[in-house]
Copies of this chain bind each other. A is one copy, B any other.
Amino acid sequence: MGTAPWKLLLLNALESNSTLKHSSFFQLATIGSNGRPSNRTVVFRGFQENSDKIQINTDCRSRKIDDLKHCPFVEICWYFTDSWEQFRINGKVDVINGSCPDPLKLQQREKAWFASSPKSRLQYLGPNPGFPSLDEKPSQEFSLDQSVGPVDAFCLLVLDPEQVDYLNLKINDRLTFTSKQSTDGQKFWSLERINP
Protein backbone atom coordinates (compact mmCIF):
# COMPACT_ATOMS: atom_id res chain seq x y z
CA MET A 1 0.00 0.00 0.00
CA GLY A 2 1.29 3.46 -0.92
CA THR A 3 1.08 6.45 1.43
CA ALA A 4 -2.48 7.73 1.95
CA PRO A 5 -2.94 10.88 -0.18
CA TRP A 6 -4.25 12.95 2.78
CA LYS A 7 -1.23 11.89 4.83
CA LEU A 8 1.03 13.69 2.36
CA LEU A 9 -1.08 16.85 2.79
CA LEU A 10 -0.94 16.46 6.57
CA LEU A 11 2.84 15.92 6.66
CA ASN A 12 3.16 19.01 4.49
CA ALA A 13 0.96 21.06 6.86
CA LEU A 14 3.02 19.86 9.84
CA GLU A 15 6.16 20.93 8.02
CA SER A 16 4.87 24.39 7.04
CA ASN A 17 3.52 25.05 10.56
CA SER A 18 6.46 23.48 12.40
CA THR A 19 7.62 26.74 14.00
CA LEU A 20 4.40 26.75 16.07
CA LYS A 21 4.49 24.53 19.14
CA HIS A 22 0.71 24.19 19.05
CA SER A 23 0.70 22.77 15.50
CA SER A 24 0.95 19.28 17.02
CA PHE A 25 -2.27 19.82 19.04
CA PHE A 26 -5.70 18.89 17.77
CA GLN A 27 -9.22 18.46 19.14
CA LEU A 28 -10.60 14.98 19.70
CA ALA A 29 -14.37 14.51 19.79
CA THR A 30 -15.95 11.43 21.36
CA ILE A 31 -19.43 10.50 22.56
CA GLY A 32 -19.90 10.36 26.32
CA SER A 33 -21.84 7.61 28.10
CA ASN A 34 -24.60 10.23 28.58
CA GLY A 35 -25.01 10.32 24.78
CA ARG A 36 -23.59 13.83 24.45
CA PRO A 37 -20.52 14.91 22.52
CA SER A 38 -17.26 15.54 24.33
CA ASN A 39 -14.29 17.49 22.95
CA ARG A 40 -10.74 18.19 24.17
CA THR A 41 -7.29 19.14 22.97
CA VAL A 42 -4.73 16.33 22.72
CA VAL A 43 -1.18 16.00 21.38
CA PHE A 44 -0.29 14.23 18.14
CA ARG A 45 2.23 11.47 18.94
CA GLY A 46 3.03 10.55 15.36
CA PHE A 47 1.87 7.93 12.93
CA GLN A 48 2.24 4.28 13.70
CA GLU A 49 5.19 2.89 11.74
CA ASN A 50 4.53 2.50 8.00
CA SER A 51 0.84 3.28 8.36
CA ASP A 52 -1.68 6.13 8.41
CA LYS A 53 -2.77 5.30 11.99
CA ILE A 54 -2.57 8.24 14.40
CA GLN A 55 -1.19 7.86 17.94
CA ILE A 56 -2.34 9.71 21.07
CA ASN A 57 -1.19 9.17 24.65
CA THR A 58 -3.69 9.43 27.45
CA ASP A 59 -4.42 8.55 31.06
CA CYS A 60 -6.46 5.34 31.56
CA ARG A 61 -8.36 7.20 34.29
CA SER A 62 -9.50 10.07 32.03
CA ARG A 63 -13.14 10.31 30.96
CA LYS A 64 -12.33 9.82 27.29
CA ILE A 65 -11.52 6.17 28.07
CA ASP A 66 -15.08 5.68 29.37
CA ASP A 67 -16.34 7.46 26.26
CA LEU A 68 -14.37 5.12 24.00
CA LYS A 69 -15.69 2.01 25.78
CA HIS A 70 -19.18 3.30 25.07
CA CYS A 71 -18.42 4.31 21.45
CA PRO A 72 -15.00 3.70 19.81
CA PHE A 73 -15.62 6.20 16.99
CA VAL A 74 -14.01 9.64 17.12
CA GLU A 75 -13.45 12.69 14.96
CA ILE A 76 -10.27 14.71 15.13
CA CYS A 77 -10.40 18.35 14.09
CA TRP A 78 -6.93 19.69 13.36
CA TYR A 79 -6.65 23.31 12.37
CA PHE A 80 -3.31 24.74 11.28
CA THR A 81 -3.31 28.40 12.24
CA ASP A 82 -0.48 29.48 9.93
CA SER A 83 -1.47 27.74 6.70
CA TRP A 84 -5.25 27.93 7.29
CA GLU A 85 -5.71 24.23 6.64
CA GLN A 86 -8.18 22.00 8.47
CA PHE A 87 -8.17 18.21 8.66
CA ARG A 88 -11.21 16.40 10.02
CA ILE A 89 -10.26 12.77 10.48
CA ASN A 90 -12.75 10.19 11.64
CA GLY A 91 -12.42 6.51 12.40
CA LYS A 92 -12.24 3.91 15.14
CA VAL A 93 -9.85 4.04 18.09
CA ASP A 94 -8.01 1.07 19.57
CA VAL A 95 -7.38 1.55 23.31
CA ILE A 96 -4.12 -0.10 24.38
CA ASN A 97 -3.54 -0.28 28.13
CA GLY A 98 -1.27 -2.53 30.24
CA SER A 99 -3.76 -5.40 30.31
CA CYS A 100 -3.90 -5.73 26.51
CA PRO A 101 -3.35 -9.42 25.58
CA ASP A 102 -1.57 -8.63 22.27
CA PRO A 103 2.25 -8.57 22.76
CA LEU A 104 2.77 -6.48 19.62
CA LYS A 105 0.38 -3.79 20.88
CA LEU A 106 2.02 -3.83 24.32
CA GLN A 107 5.32 -3.22 22.54
CA GLN A 108 3.79 -0.21 20.73
CA ARG A 109 2.55 1.12 24.08
CA GLU A 110 6.03 0.74 25.58
CA LYS A 111 7.58 2.50 22.61
CA ALA A 112 5.11 5.40 22.96
CA TRP A 113 5.96 5.64 26.67
CA PHE A 114 9.70 5.92 26.06
CA ALA A 115 9.12 8.37 23.19
CA SER A 116 7.36 10.80 25.56
CA SER A 117 9.33 13.23 27.72
CA PRO A 118 10.25 12.39 31.32
CA LYS A 119 8.10 15.36 32.38
CA SER A 120 5.00 14.12 30.59
CA ARG A 121 5.54 10.61 32.03
CA LEU A 122 5.27 12.08 35.53
CA GLN A 123 1.67 13.19 34.81
CA TYR A 124 0.59 9.56 35.00
CA LEU A 125 1.69 9.39 38.63
CA GLY A 126 -0.51 12.35 39.62
CA PRO A 127 -3.96 12.16 41.18
CA ASN A 128 -7.00 10.94 39.23
CA PRO A 129 -7.64 13.49 36.42
CA GLY A 130 -11.06 15.13 36.52
CA PHE A 131 -11.61 14.19 40.18
CA PRO A 132 -12.09 16.87 42.83
CA SER A 133 -8.74 18.32 43.78
CA LEU A 134 -7.75 17.37 47.32
CA ASP A 135 -4.51 19.32 47.30
CA GLU A 136 -2.55 16.12 47.05
CA LYS A 137 1.16 16.11 46.37
CA PRO A 138 1.58 17.72 42.94
CA SER A 139 2.96 15.37 40.28
CA GLN A 140 6.07 17.54 39.96
CA GLU A 141 7.18 16.16 43.30
CA PHE A 142 6.99 12.57 42.10
CA SER A 143 10.07 11.08 40.55
CA LEU A 144 10.43 8.22 38.14
CA ASP A 145 13.47 6.24 37.05
CA GLN A 146 13.81 6.96 33.33
CA SER A 147 14.46 3.30 32.53
CA VAL A 148 11.14 2.21 34.07
CA GLY A 149 8.51 1.10 31.52
CA PRO A 150 4.92 2.37 31.24
CA VAL A 151 3.01 2.80 34.49
CA ASP A 152 -0.52 1.39 34.86
CA ALA A 153 -2.27 4.70 34.08
CA PHE A 154 -0.51 5.08 30.71
CA CYS A 155 -2.65 4.33 27.71
CA LEU A 156 -1.96 4.46 23.98
CA LEU A 157 -4.81 5.33 21.62
CA VAL A 158 -4.48 4.36 17.97
CA LEU A 159 -6.90 5.92 15.49
CA ASP A 160 -7.47 4.06 12.23
CA PRO A 161 -8.78 6.77 9.84
CA GLU A 162 -11.79 5.95 7.66
CA GLN A 163 -12.61 9.36 6.23
CA VAL A 164 -10.72 12.64 6.00
CA ASP A 165 -12.20 16.03 5.16
CA TYR A 166 -9.53 18.50 4.10
CA LEU A 167 -10.19 22.25 3.85
CA ASN A 168 -7.72 24.85 2.65
CA LEU A 169 -9.08 28.32 3.48
CA LYS A 170 -6.33 30.17 1.63
CA ILE A 171 -7.37 28.79 -1.73
CA ASN A 172 -10.96 27.87 -0.68
CA ASP A 173 -10.53 24.23 -1.63
CA ARG A 174 -12.10 21.20 0.05
CA LEU A 175 -11.42 17.54 -0.54
CA THR A 176 -12.90 14.43 1.00
CA PHE A 177 -10.94 11.17 1.20
CA THR A 178 -12.81 7.93 1.87
CA SER A 179 -11.15 4.60 2.63
CA LYS A 180 -12.33 1.48 0.86
CA GLN A 181 -11.35 -2.17 0.87
CA SER A 182 -10.14 -3.76 -2.33
CA THR A 183 -11.20 -7.33 -3.13
CA ASP A 184 -7.94 -8.65 -1.63
CA GLY A 185 -8.65 -6.81 1.64
CA GLN A 186 -6.23 -3.93 1.07
CA LYS A 187 -7.23 -0.43 2.21
CA PHE A 188 -7.25 2.24 -0.47
CA TRP A 189 -8.49 5.83 -0.66
CA SER A 190 -10.92 7.52 -3.01
CA LEU A 191 -10.90 11.28 -3.40
CA GLU A 192 -13.64 13.78 -4.20
CA ARG A 193 -13.58 17.59 -4.47
CA ILE A 194 -16.53 19.07 -2.57
CA ASN A 195 -17.93 22.58 -2.05
CA PRO A 196 -16.26 24.45 0.87
Chain A residues at the B interface, C-beta cutoff of 8 Å: 20, 22, 25, 27-31, 35-41, 71, 73-77, 79, 81, 86, 88, 90, 126-133, 136, 138, 172, 174, 192-196
Report yes or no: B31 in contact with A37, Cβ–Cβ below 8 A: yes
Number of copies: 2
- Let me know if B36 and A39 touch, CB within 8 A: no
A160 to chain B, nearest CB (A): 14
By a CB distance below 8 angstroms, the chain B residues around A30 are 37
Pair A130/B195 contact, Cβ less than 8 Å: yes
Tell me, rounded to whole Å, the shortest Cβ–Cβ distance linking A116 to chain B.
Answer: 16
**A-B contact list, 27 entries, CB within 8 Å:** A25-B79, A27-B27, A27-B29, A27-B39, A27-B77, A29-B29, A29-B39, A29-B77, A31-B35, A31-B36, A35-B71, A35-B73, A36-B71, A37-B37, A37-B73, A37-B75, A38-B90, A39-B39, A39-B77, A40-B88, A41-B79, A128-B195, A129-B194, A129-B196, A130-B195, A132-B193, A133-B174
